[in-house]
Structure 1
Amino acid sequence: MSEPLAERMRPRTLDDYVGQKHLVGEGAVLRKMIDAGRISSFILWGPPGVGKTTLAQIIANKLETPFYTLSAVTSGVKDVREVIERAKSGRFFSSASPILFIDEIHRFSKSQQDSLLGAVERGVVTLIGATTENPSFEVIRPLLSRCQLYVLKSLDKDDLLELLQRAITTDTELSKRHIELKQTDAMLRYSGGDARKLLNILELVVEADSNDHVVITDDIVASRLQQNPLAYDKGGDMHYDIISAFIKSIRGSDPDAALYWMARMIEAGEDPQFIARRVVISAAEDVGLANPNALLLANAAFDAVMKIGWPEGRIPLAEAVVYLATSPKSNSAYKAINDALALVKQTGNQPVPLHLRNAPTQLMQSLGYHDGYKYSHDYPGNFTPQQYLPDALVDTRLWHAQHSPVEEKSYQQMLRLWGDRFKDKD
């Protein structure tokens, strides 16, 4: 029995690698390191089927260095330590560090990740981690600080079409038959930017046709996939469409729809942490200052899911989702921080006003540091007007209240303290 098409088509060199030109194209950052023969530890973050594992294997082949693989699903701390010991004993002084590739590194526990720190820091191994989840949530800070982070993107239409043409013309099995790609929209849509999924679909459609001349159309692809609905259930368009519908339903104050989409994710076997994180984000982004308790409840639901898992974890999650969906909404804090970031990029490093600077030394005092600062608690109501923004940005407004019942109190407080500065402009 031959290997699956996706495995047969796995690239062996960077020249055969499809996509991720921002990382491995000519002159790109990762390509330069690989060509120079030395790489530092890094983590590849991207959706399934975009070439994370393949890229790690290509790098190991290019550098001609030992390549060790661990899966976070099946490996423990003992396995990590054994691999590190093998890497130590098998390395020559002049050779590059062995590469330790850890697939699904987001599934490693804190203790497993801790066991990697020393070896990565001393250069015993060069770590390449692969994850489909945001590393800032899943990878411990000390390990993340020792690794570069590279973001891989879903393959675009041109990448996928190139992959299809390469498969039907160069694969040892498919090239024996005359395959005509009459229509490709359905294949691209169902693949969702996932190369592995695209090749699985192609193989499924071709194998279902006994003729030497195979004509592939959108209707044929849709028909074949309906016969195998579970084969392409996770990841790709469906995964992202459902989470999008879930978030939009909470934002749109429809608890029934929000619960329905969450149930769809639960039934599909979605990671409960993935759902819980999106609930926390929605509490801050969409409910925000209109009901600050929403973020507390969302965090409590996240903690409860982590403690009790499935299936009971669905109950606190459902409680949080209904609470968020039925809460008043405000994205004023979300908009304010985005505007602040845009302002910083636009105006650069504005100097801190002298009166806001600390003056721990005599020299700083002589330069006017801290001179004129007014300590708020020395004044009635613990407030006195003074300048807090840089000179070039005085009176800039970033936060604009949206006047929900809770947020209105904060707005009225700002009016009372600052007067016209916070008055809404008609």
Structure 2
Amino acid sequence: MSEPLAERLRPRTLDEYVGQKHLVGEGAVLRKMIDAGRISSFILWGPPGVGKTTLAQIIANKLQTPFYTLSAVTSGVKDVRDVIERAKSGRFFSSNSPILFIDEIHRFSKSQQDSLLGAVERGVVTLIGATTENPSFEVIRPLLSRCQVYVLKPLEKEDLEELLHRAVSTDIELKKRHIELRQTDAMLRFSGGDARKLLNILELVVEAESGDDVVITDDKVVDRLQQNPLAYDKGGDMHYDIISAFIKSIRGSDPDAALYWMARMIEAGEDPQFIARRIVISAAEDIGLANPNALLLANAAFDAVMKIGWPEGRIPLAEAVVYLATSPKSNSAYCGINDALALVRETGNQPVPLHLRNAPTSLMKNLGYHDGYKYSHDYPGNFVEQLYMPDALTDRRIWHAQHSPVEEKSYQQMLRCWGKRFEE
């Protein structure tokens, strides 16, 4: 059986490498190190399918140094130590330190990362880590301090188009067909800047055609992907549409659909931290003030996943998902901050009213700072009416209650305090 197209087209040299000119273009930082024949440990941070693994392999080939690979998903501390021992032996055959490439290094536990420190410090191995998550949060500080972090970007439209034309014109299997790239917008859109996903889509569409003449159009791509929703995601990276369906199912109060889409993500190998973060965001954005406990439960589920790991972590995540989906919904806080930001951009830097300013010096007091400020707790009900908005915005409303059972209490309190100002 033939290799997948994405694997057949994997670049072997920097000249074949597509994208990331800020790192490997002429005069760029990584290009200079590679051309000099010596590199230091670094971490490649970027979304899936932008060339992290490929770049590490190209560097190893260019430097002609032993190359060891570990996956953070399947490797333990013992695997790390075994590779380090083999790297020590391999050092005799090369002037450069052997390269240890760790894919998805953000999934390594603290103890696994600790086991790397000594070897990296002593130069036993040159570490190249690849991660889709922010290393500041996922990599321990001592290890991070010994590595440069290079950010890889989603491939640009021009990069993706170059890749498509290269595939059609150079791949040994595709050259057997007469392929016309009449329209490419749909493929580019569905790929999301992911080269592997783009090539998988191309391969899927071509394989679905029976004859030697293949004309690729946007409609044809959309049709094929609807028939095979995961077929182009052979690497296990979840398509953005699945994530979107998950969030919309929670927002739409459908616990069955929300659990189904989460199961799809789990089965596809999605990072549990990513799922947990999306749940926390949904709790704040979609449930909001209608049930403030939703955010607490979502945060608790996130913490539980971090403590107990996978696969048991699916249980608190499922609990949070069902709770969020069955909760009343409100996005009044979400709308409020968006409206406030829009107002700031519209009106600029309005001055703070004098009575709301601090007056730590006599000059400020003489200028009227803090003068006339009323301390709320000195008044009945801990409230007194006074101006808090800038003078030019006294009549502008930002937060609008949505009158769910819980939020209604907050709304009634505002009516008691402000009267007509908060009448809807």
Scaled by the length of structure 2, the TM-score of the pair is 0.68
Per-residue deviation, 1:335: 1.7
Per-residue deviation, 1:131: 2.5
Name the counterpart of 1:365. Answer: 361
Per-residue deviation, 1:288: 0.5
C-alpha distance after superposition, 1:332-354 (max 9, x if no partner): 11122223334445555556556
C-alpha distance after superposition, 1:134-180 (max 9, x if no partner): 66764568988997784622664x54342122134345x459x4442
- Mean Cα displacement is larger for which, 3-12 or 320-329? 3-12
Q: Distance in 1 between matches of 2:110 and 2:408?
A: 42
Partner AA of 2:336 in structure 1: A
What is the count of residue pairs matched by the alignment?
404
Q: Distance in 1 between matches of 2:228 and 2:316?
A: 36
Q: Distance in 2 between matches of 1:356 and 1:120?
A: 54
Per-residue deviation, 1:367: 2.8
Q: 1:270 to 1:74 in 2, by over 3 A?
A: closer
Name the counterpart of 1:18. Answer: 18
In the TM superposition, 1:22-421 aligns within 5 A as: 44-46=45-47, 48-54=48-54, 71-73=71-73, 102-110=102-110, 130-133=130-133, 138=138, 150=151, 152-153=153-154, 156=157, 159-170=159-170, 173=172, 177-182=175-180, 193-199=193-199, 214-216=212-214, 232-233=233-234, 235=236, 239-345=239-345, 356=356, 364-368=360-364, 371-372=370-371, 373-390=373-390, 393-394=393-394, 396-420=396-420
Q: 1:232 to 1:415 in 2, by over 3 A?
A: same
Q: Distance in 2 between matches of 1:233 and 1:51?
A: 16
Name the counterpart of 1:94. Answer: none
Contact 2:284 2:295 in 1 (8 A): yes
Name the counterpart of 1:423. Answer: 422
Q: Distance in 2 between matches of 1:9 and 1:296?
A: 47
Q: 1:398 to 1:52 in 2, by over 3 A?
A: farther
Q: Distance in 2 between matches of 1:116 and 1:357?
A: 52
Partner AA of 2:180 in structure 1: K
Partner AA of 2:370 in structure 1: D
SS at match of 1:253: coil
Q: 1:329 to 1:147 in 2, by over 3 A?
A: farther
Gaps of 5+ in 1: 91-97
Q: Distance in 2 between matches of 1:149 and 1:230?
A: 31
SS at match of 1:182: strand
Gaps of 5+ in 2: 34-38, 92-97
Q: Distance in 2 between matches of 1:392 and 1:40?
A: 55
Q: Distance in 1 between matches of 2:289 and 2:105?
A: 35
Scaled by the length of structure 1, the TM-score of the pair is 0.67
Per-residue deviation, 1:12: 6.1
Q: Distance in 2 between matches of 1:345 and 1:300?
A: 35
Partner AA of 1:423 in structure 2: F
Name the counterpart of 2:36. Answer: none
- Mean Cα displacement is larger for which, 299-308 or 134-143? 134-143
Q: Distance in 2 between matches of 1:142 and 1:394?
A: 51
Per-residue deviation, 1:221: 12
What CA RMSD, in Å, does the superposition of the two structures yield over aligned residues?
5.5
C-alpha distance after superposition, 1:241-260 (max 9, x if no partner): 22211211111122232233
Q: 1:390 to 1:198 in 2, by over 3 A?
A: same
Q: Distance in 2 between matches of 1:299 and 1:365?
A: 43
Q: Distance in 2 between matches of 1:350 and 1:66?
A: 61
Q: Distance in 1 between matches of 2:267 and 2:117?
A: 37
Contact 1:45 1:135 in 2 (8 A): no
Name the counterpart of 2:94. Answer: none
Q: 1:390 to 1:34 in 2, by over 3 A?
A: farther
